[in-house]
Amino acid sequence: MSIGQVLAKLNPEFPDLSPSKLRFLEERQLVSPTRTSAGYRKFSPSDMERLRFVLTMQRDHYLPLKVIRGYLDDLDAGRTPDLPAAANVPSMLATERRRTRDELLREANAPATLLDDAVAASLITPAELFGDDALNVLRALVDLRRSGIEPRHLRAFRAAAERELALIENALMPVSRRADASSRAKAGELAREIAGQLEVVRSSLIRSALAGFDA
């Protein structure tokens, strides 16, 4: 199949898939289509299944391409690896239900004042409709309040997130300066990978600090 035929088959399930992303996945060695004598890419049925697996793991399980490729490399080598664990970073390609303010408060079992405090502390972005991130944060804030931790105590989290974002933007500057679609796809994937690596470091620091409570 040609790139156009691949897109026709996969776009109903993965509407954000584009020729540039297909080329990017090939560049990252996640799929290796054959080439005709004229240099055109041709995708086999097994290439299609591999693409569907990669895109599903990225969209539904929030896995960076580096992790997916490691799993596929193990399969290609004849090993039987376990499926990689889902990441905790929300996928940029994932769709989510949107809810009104009243629906958000009801699902989180939260008082309106807590939501107002969370917005004031820049922990939740004010909006007409709220997504899953807002729901998860508000639910966490309900539990934290039981331990005496209020949204105002967490203002530093927003500042820390902004500092991490600045780190990611600086790291991606050489790629993001390019205007082509392939570079934009690469920048988005690299941003997720860097965010995941920063999360590993942050989690390790927190676990090390918590170990003192067990001593």
CA atoms within 13 A on the CB side of 55: 24
- What pLDDT is attached to residue 94? 42
Other residues' Cβ atoms within 10 Å of the Cβ of residue 208:
9
Q: Are 198 and 164 in contact (CB under 8 A)?
A: yes
How far lies 214's CA from each of 144, 208, 210, 211, in Å?
A: 21, 11, 7, 5
pTM of the model: 0.51
What is the dihedral sign for C-alpha 155, 158, 160, 163? Answer: negative
- What pLDDT is attached to residue 57? 85
Q: Which residues of 154-186 are buried (b: 16+ CB within 10 A; e: fewer)?
A: beeeeeeeeeeeeebeeebeebbeeeeebbbbb
pLDDT tens track, the chain, 215 positions: 999 999 999 999 988 888 888 888 888 889 999 998 888 899 999 999 999 999 988 877 777 788 888 889 988 888 888 877 654 444 333 445 789 999 999 999 999 999 999 999 999 999 999 988 899 999 999 999 999 999 999 988 888 888 988 998 898 888 777 766 667 667 777 887 788 778 778 777 887 887 777 65
Which residues are 41's β-sheet partners?
35
Residue 99 φ/ψ, nearest 5 degrees: -140, 150
- What pLDDT is attached to residue 173? 85
Residue 162's SS3 state is helix
- What pLDDT is attached to residue 151? 95
